[in-house]
Amino acid sequence: MARRETALQTAHGRLRELIGREFRSGDKLPNERELADRLEVSRATVREVLGQLAAEGMVTRTWGIGTFVHDGAERVPVSIGDVTALRDRITASGHRPTLQDAAVSRAKCPADCAKLFGLQPESEVWRVDRLFAVDGVAAAWIRDHLPLRFDGRDLDPSGLVSIDLDMFEFLATATGMPVRRAEIDLAAVLADEEATARLGVAAGHPLITGTQIGYGAGGAPLFHGHITVRTDVLTLRISRGEMAPQSVR
């Protein structure tokens, strides 16, 4: 395993060097077979390295068309090291956040969400679906689930259809308990049909997706959500320090 990881790292570095030396933004790369011959590695290794470079935002891959050097458009860095609204992180980077679409509805709770909240499978919960844009470009699609009631209080998240109210502000007011900790598991994926429709990207476009859970005092779960991010628009940054990494919302 260690030998394979070393080989991948070597191929990764050599391909990055090749792209930087011979190609410019917007150029189409040779196919996997040609790259494998030039790097003297297998096509499977090239495919895996290209997937890594796509997740890093260096290239974009479109199924049936090819792999292209990223066009160099500015990406907005947002930290996932603090429990801070995504809206505020985008603003702090000097860009304009907006909601291109937002909806609040009652829906059946997914199985993992029901387990978190201690509900029966398919119990009714609030679903908050929001599409964030950066300078008018769709950048992050967030779908959260919240219980209908918390500690005897009815929750009404209808205000979250406005950019002026973020999830953390809403929960602090509605439950009397601010989010103290958020955990997020991230994965690199390629855009499926639903993500294509929501984010306006081609099928197979590289994306980052995450499952996020927010907790209040004493570890009480407050929300369960999924976030899908266009890495060609937003750059996710983790800052390590004495505190455990938390998340952005």
Query: Among 20-34, 104-118, 164-178, 208-222, which stretch is predicted with the lowest mean pLDDT?
Result: 20-34
Say how many C-beta atoms besides its own lie within 10 A of residue 180's C-beta.
15
The phi, psi pair for 151, rounded to 5°, reads 50, 45
Delineate the domains of the chain, giving CATH numbers in brackets: 2-69 (1.10.10.10), 76-237 (3.40.1410.10)
Handedness of CA 41, 43, 45, 49 (dihedral sign): positive
pLDDT of residue 244: 40
Percent of the chain with pLDDT over 70: 86
User: pLDDT digit string (tens) for 47-103?
Assistant: 888 888 877 667 887 777 888 887 655 566 665 555 567 888 888 778 889 999 999
Range in 79-83, 88-92, 131-135, 231-235 the model is least confident about: 79-83
The pTM assigned to this predicted structure is: 0.66
185 touches 194 (CB < 8 A):
no
Res. 249: pLDDT tops 90: no
Please determine, for residue 134, whether its predicted confidence score (pLDDT) is greater than 50: yes
Question: By CB neighbour count within 10 A (0-12 exposed, 13-18 middle, 19+ buried), where does 240 fall?
Answer: exposed
pLDDT for the residue numbered 82? 58
CA–CA distance from 31 to each of 34, 47, 50, 71, 91 (Å)?
A: 5, 10, 11, 19, 39
